[in-house]
Amino acid sequence: MPYRIAIVTTHPIQYQAPWFRAMAAHPALDLDVFFCHQATPSQQADAGFGVEFDWDVPLLEGYRYRFLNNVARNPSANYFRGLDTPEIGDIVREQRFDAVINCGWHRKSYWQSIRACWKTKTPVMVRSDSTLHTERSALKAAVKLPAYRLFIPRMDACLAVGHWSRQYYLHYGARHDRIFLVPHTIDEPWFHNHAKRLASCRPQLRAAWKLPEDATVFLWAAKFIPKKRPMDLLRALDAAARGGARVHGLMVGDGPLRAECEQIARDRYVPVTFAGFLNQSEMVKAYVAADALVLPSDGGETWGLVVNEAMVCGRACIVSDKVGCGPDLITPETGAVYPLGDVERLAALMSELAADPARVRSMGAAAAQEIAEYSTDVAVRGVLEAVHAVAR
């Protein structure tokens, strides 16, 4: 008999859907996904995307799901009381799952699920990408330590997305033998196949965005918000170009900082193109048009799934040393890691790559191989290992 597994998560997310579909397709798992909220296009804009939209890839196909009744006064996935779904407690009590996976603990709905699991002795697992590298005050860290060490050791299993995530669980008292790797993944075949199909169109894609044929193009793809540090890329591009490097930026996304970035680019004649928001199915075009990805985010970037996407598309990646996926995905063969905020070092790395196109291509090929270790199959295998260990 397959294991009956429930997943409780905030709302449909484009990066979770491939993982859910892969779990649902596995013969050893019988999966139900419970969403606590259904975000509207305007709420997507409020979350920092800067424009109203719905994802243009299927998020609800290939697995069994249900939207819970969110009774919060101000429904939102962005704060603790914005998700209040008391019916999840009844569902856990009635369904008697072999295990319940909660995608975090920072919302009220998660605690409604966790408490129901504890009361019914249903094995409860948590999956989180939190790290110890996110900035927090000394007071907040001191308050969190005893509180988190009360509940994290009580979890039957902790599902870590990578190296820093595992360190986080250990710091708060999780048992070594109850931490399982369930990495962040994307729809790898979809990205790979689309990138392969579009490869022959690369000259046309670059021309459409007015990207110079002879320049090394560095892609930045994110919300224009402070933690993504878009200004760092602009300043590095400016410094590299003034130093004689043939570089160009392609900035994809929207958000509150976009207008300021565009003004700086105009004032300083920074070689950069602003492509605006691109929906999921359009993002592959940007990866194909570019030569490498730059993610200069601060410690709030607990992973950085654009790195997964870029690597699947065969692109080298440069990330700051506060980006969560750095220790897992970035090596000298696949890209580079530089100190957060060190624009001079970032400019030097970009100049080095621009001077050696063959090295950029070699890094991209290595990146495509490395990311195979972070596939949906690996994520499903991690869930199975955890379930085998905890299921009654």
**Is the Cβ–Cβ distance between 347 and 271 less than 8 Å?**
no
pLDDT of 256 > 50? The answer is yes
Domains detected in the chain: 3-185+375-390 (3.40.50.2000), 188-373 (3.40.50.2000)
Kindly state the average pLDDT of the residues 36-61: 66
> CA-CA distance, 247 to 214, in Å (whole number)?
9
Mean pLDDT (the chain, rounded): 94
pLDDT digits (tens, 9 = 90+) for 279-305: 888 999 999 999 999 999 999 999 999
pLDDT of 331 > 50? The answer is yes
pLDDT digits (tens, 9 = 90+) for 95-104: 999 999 999 9
pLDDT of 77 > 60? The answer is yes
Q: Which alpha helices (H) appear in 243-316, and where do they start and end?
A: 258-268, 280-289, 305-312
> CA-CA distance, 150 to 138, in Å (whole number)?
19
pLDDT digits (tens, 9 = 90+) for 145-187: 999 999 999 999 999 999 999 999 999 999 999 999 999 999 9
The percent of residues in the chain predicted with pLDDT above 90, rounded, is 89
Quote the DSSP letter at residue 333: T
Least confident of 103-107, 205-209, 277-281, 291-295: 277-281
pLDDT of 20 > 80? The answer is yes
What is the per-residue pLDDT for 58? 83
What is the per-residue pLDDT for 50? 53
Kindly state the average pLDDT of the residues 349-370: 97
Kindly state the average pLDDT of the residues 365-374: 94
pLDDT of 35 > 80? The answer is yes
Kindly state the average pLDDT of the residues 370-387: 95
What is Dmax (Cα atoms) for the chain? 67
**Is the Cβ–Cβ distance between 375 and 188 less than 8 Å?**
yes
pLDDT of 47 > 60? The answer is no
- Token pair listed for 55: 């994802």
Which residues, in sequence order, are CB contacts of 162 under 8 Å at separation 6+?
129, 181, 183, 184, 303, 324, 325, 327, 328
Kindly state the average pLDDT of the residues 370-377: 93
- Token pair listed for 285: 């075009």
pLDDT of 41 > 90? The answer is no
What is the per-residue pLDDT for 45? 44
**Is the Cβ–Cβ distance between 113 and 89 less than 8 Å?**
yes
C-alpha distances (whole Å) from 214 to each of 210, 245, 247, 249, 291 are 12, 11, 9, 13, 11
pLDDT of 44 > 60? The answer is no
**Is the Cβ–Cβ distance between 195 and 368 less than 8 Å?**
no
How many CA atoms lie within 13 Å of 180's alpha carbon, on the beta-carbon side?
A: 24
- Token pair listed for 291: 């030569």
